[in-house]
Structures are given as structure tokens and as C-alpha cells.
Chains A and B, each alone.
Chain A
């Protein structure tokens, strides 16, 4: 449930899926899903803040209604499954859905422009990705995604949006090393090409109930980028400590420093208590 700018409560389903999973090689999901770009977006959904090591998502994977640059949600068809590949441990992701709608009005708010059931044009957005979890290198995981959509913002020429994303993870219960990067390329015959680059790297280690962590965020949109007009360059380190009170409650302390192009740097200290039950999560 969200609160809009008028202070009114709105119920907004984040995911609603019809699933068909006959075997490991073919999982089909139809409905509103989290796009399979990278690792973080599908690993930590709404209401699952407890499961995240840090207090929030990396800048690169900020929710699309909170200034994020990646298409976090889509409405359409998502296919996933294993690829018979022995020790390579390959799997695939293939998604096709409504592309982004950059038009305002018609009951849509600007913040929701990436997740509507309307599209700027006839072309659908698609995402194709491959993930490898090689058995000899367990628990290493790496993968690559390619996403494409066409965008036609109101009063502007059409843009082709291509996203190239890659990740490399080492995910053990007591040690976590997450690295993800994405290049978002907007190309137009009339306005040229604009490359927005983002990445984050996160390292954490668990000592019993304590888990100190450090993360570095980087997101850089060109000054003349026509779609990410307010993103600019933002980069800086974060560090913190997570303490698991019990299996379902975690106390997190985090300090963020963010340098911004053309603006003063921001320092933020955050303390959050995250709880989790099988019926849903809660932040305080």
C-alpha cells in the first residue's frame, strides 16, 4: 500500500502472476513481475527488506517509482529454466512485456511511467539473460542480460533503449560479495546516443548474529540525457552493521555518503528495524 502526493492511500499490487512450472527447464509466469535484469531486482522484492543485508537497495536498482533508472517491473510473459549444461549450471531468462510509457496524463503519474499497461509504440520490450552457477566454483554466480525497448517521450523523437547488464556474485551464508553493472543506452537518429552507466559492489561477512557490510554505489547519466533528466552523477560509499535479533528481526545501522554532480554531497545515517514473517515483511 502506498501513500500518494495528496496523502491518500493507494493499493498497488507489485506482483501478480499466473505460474506454470512443469519441470526445471521451463517455468512460465504471466502477469506483473520483477524484470530479470541482474540479480538484485529479483532477489529482493517489495516487503523483503529484512532479507537485504543493507537498509535499502543499491542506487542502480532503486524502484522505478523512487527515481530508479532500470525497468524494475513489467507486465507480460516471463520464461525461466535450467539449460542442460552439466557442471556449467546454466539457466536462462526470456521476458516480453509492455514497454515503457513516457506519456503523462491519462491517469498515469510520472513516477509510474515505467510500469503501466500502455506502451509508447507497438514494439514490446524484451529481456534475454543467461546465468551460470558453475559447480566447481560454487557459490559463484555470474550472468548477463540484454534488454530492449522503444521509447517515444511526448514531444520528443523516438529512442531505442538498450540495457546491457552483468553480475558477478559470491553468495555463501557467511560471506557475500555482490557486483553488478548496467549500461543503459538511449539512441535516437535525431538526438544521438546517451550512455548511462551504473554499478554497485557490496561486501559483507557474518560473525554469528553480526554482519558488517560495505557498499559502493555509482550511477552516471549524461548531463543532456533526455529521459533521465534529474539523475545526473551520484556515487559514494556506504557502510553499516546488521544485527540479527532473531530469525525474523534484524536491526540495521548504515551510513551513506553520496557525491552528486553539480550539487553538494549528502551524508545520511539510517537506523532500521526490519522484521519478516512468512505472511509479509515490515519496516520500522
Chain B
């Protein structure tokens, strides 16, 4: 009897369409997308979407053996943050928050990444910190900031994953 109940539960867990599970995605009007910005002195020019995911999830914490990576997310509820978490991590804001709670409990990190409240602070932060990385609307990028290629594409190009 118990085994039958368990098998029924397993089949139910595997058979329900994926679209019914998890949180629904927020749909944004398509535009040039979200630019991944770093300091111009950063030796890295391109990332894969999987690399970006590792950075956002705190699994990659250095650009090279000598340059630590400093991740600055955008504030909760911002378009940049929601789109980045959806496209790179397939997570909602709440799931991301819970993920970092787990990392803090495990002792992997001491705190969740700091969130920057505005476009200006994100640009200022990246231009002043060599290992910094943040995310802004691609239309707002100014000179003196390097925009990363993601999966070989820049914002606005066909195939760019963060738009």
C-alpha cells in the first residue's frame, strides 16, 4: 500500500507539465536588453551565459588568480534584476534570496550581494572597481565602461540572451 502511494506520487511529480510548476515569468517589452558591465581594466571581454550564472550565483568569485570579482546586483524589483535572474538563473527574486540564505548558512559567504539602487551608482561602481560587475539597461551605457559579450553577442545583436 505504502509503496503504491509512493509510486503514484513519483509518477505525479514527473508527469505534470513543466509549465504548471514554478513561478510564472514576468514579460518585459523587448528592447536592447540588459548590458553586463565591467571595468575597462578587466582582462575578460566575454562570458558564456553559464559563466554569468555562476557569477550571479556566487560560484565564481574571481576573474583571475589576482583579480577578485565584486558582484553588485540591482535592487529588488528592478527590470535589470528580474530579467537577469530569469534568463541566467531561471529563478525568481524570492528563490534567489533563499539560495543566498543557504550559502550564508553553509558558511560559503557572509552576506548576499549588495544591491545598487540606481543606474548612476551601478555605472560609478563599475568604473571605480577593477573587479566589479553590474547590470544596466543597454541603452544607458556610457563611455569608460566595458560591456561584456554574452555567448558571443553584444546587447542589441540577434541572439543576445539578456533581452
Contact = CB atoms under 8 A, between A and B. Distances in A.
A95 to B, nearest CB: 15
> In which size bucket is the chain B interface?
35 or more
B91 A173 contact: yes
B13 interface: yes
B101 interface: yes
A276 B106 CA distance: 13
A17 B107 contact: yes
Given A138-B53, A276-B101, A173 B22 contact: yes
B8 to A, nearest CB: 10
Contacts of B14: 203, 205
Interface stretch (B37-45, B61-69, B132-140, B141-149): B61-69
A43 B99 CA distance: 11
- Summarize B's interface: helix, strand, loop or mixed: helix
Contacts of A203: 10, 13-14
A51 B13 CA distance: 20
Contacts of B90: 172-173
Contacts of B87: none
- Summarize A's interface: helix, strand, loop or mixed: strand
A237 B3 contact: yes
B61 A23 contact: yes
Interface of B: 2-3, 5-6, 9-10, 12-14, 16, 20-23, 48, 50, 53, 60-62, 64-66, 68, 90-92, 94-95, 97-99, 101-102, 104-107
A25 B21 contact: no
Interface string A12-23: 000101010111
A47 B98 contact: no
A205 B21 contact: yes
Interface stretch (A110-118, A151-159, A206-214): A206-214
A138 B50 contact: yes
Contact of B105 (A45, A174, A216): A45
A181 to B, nearest CB: 18
B109 to A, nearest CB: 10
A51 B105 contact: yes
Given A23-B68, A173-B90, A173-B91, A48 B105 contact: yes
A237 B60 CA distance: 37
